[in-house]
């Protein structure tokens, strides 16, 4: 059975609640990502997406005298998953919740990874390629 742990990104770029909003856009572009989990002492407390960033920048003038903190714009109360969750269940969570990503946490709410819709699209592409005989990979086994 394929699990979230088999597909997730483990080396996650994160933010702190006190980080400033203006640096986030550059970070998203440099890292080629669209979601940044926000952590406090290793525990997930929120998420900032590219969409959140655009919305926040539209509300706050860049020349504002007070910097905008991530805590002011992040999404809280996130749907999360654990690494041992079957991948199929995570797909349903993404679809049912209309999410683009799911932070992956351990039993102590410590962030251990992130799984995105793009991760599942890459898996689907590999499975389709294998089913069509384009690669010698076994279906259900993610490529490294």
Residue 81 has a pLDDT of 97
What would the pLDDT profile of 21-40 be if each residue is shown by its tens digit?
877 888 888 999 999 999 99
| Per-residue burial over 35-54, b = 16 or more CB atoms within 10 Å of its CB, e = otherwise | bbbbbeeeebbbbbbbebbe
Phi first, then psi: give them for residue 139, nearest 5 degrees.
-60, 140
Residue 46 has a pLDDT of 96
State how many domains the chain has: 1
Domain interval for residue 45: 4-131
Domain assignment present for 10: yes
Domain assignment present for 139: no
Domain assignment present for 22: yes
Query: Distance between CA atoms of 85 and 83, rounded to whole angstroms?
Result: 6
Residue 101 has a pLDDT of 96
**CATH code of the domain in which 86 resides:** 3.10.580.10
Domain assignment present for 65: yes
Residue 40 has a pLDDT of 95
Domain assignment present for 12: yes
pLDDT in tens, the chain (144 residues): 999 999 999 999 999 998 888 778 888 889 999 999 999 999 999 999 988 888 887 776 656 556 778 898 899 999 999 999 999 999 999 999 999 999 999 999 999 999 999 999 999 999 999 999 865 555 555 555
Domain assignment present for 66: yes
Domain assignment present for 144: no
Residue 54 has a pLDDT of 84
Decide the pairing of beta strands 43-49 and 111-116. unpaired
pTM summary value: 0.83
Domain assignment present for 143: no
What would the pLDDT profile of 39-60 be if each residue is shown by its tens digit?
999 999 999 998 888 888 777 6
């Amino acid at each position: 059975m394929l699990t979230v742990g088999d597909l997730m990104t483990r080396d996650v770029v994160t933010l702190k609640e006190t980080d400033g909003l203006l640096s986030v856009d550059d970070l998203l572009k440099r890292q080629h990502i669209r979601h940044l989990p926000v952590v406090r002492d290793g525990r997930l407390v929120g998420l900032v997406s590219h969409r959140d960033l655009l919305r926040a920048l539209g509300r706050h003038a860049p020349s504002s005298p007070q910097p905008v903190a991530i805590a002011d714009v992040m999404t809280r109360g996130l749907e999360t998953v654990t690494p041992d969750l079957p991948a199929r269940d995570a797909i349903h969570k993404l679809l049912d919740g209309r999410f683009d990503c799911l932070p992956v946490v351990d039993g102590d709410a410590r962030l251990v990874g992130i799984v995105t819709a793009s991760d599942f699209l890459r898996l689907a592409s590999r499975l389709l390629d294998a089913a069509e005989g384009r690669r010698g990979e076994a279906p259900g086994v993610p490529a490294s």
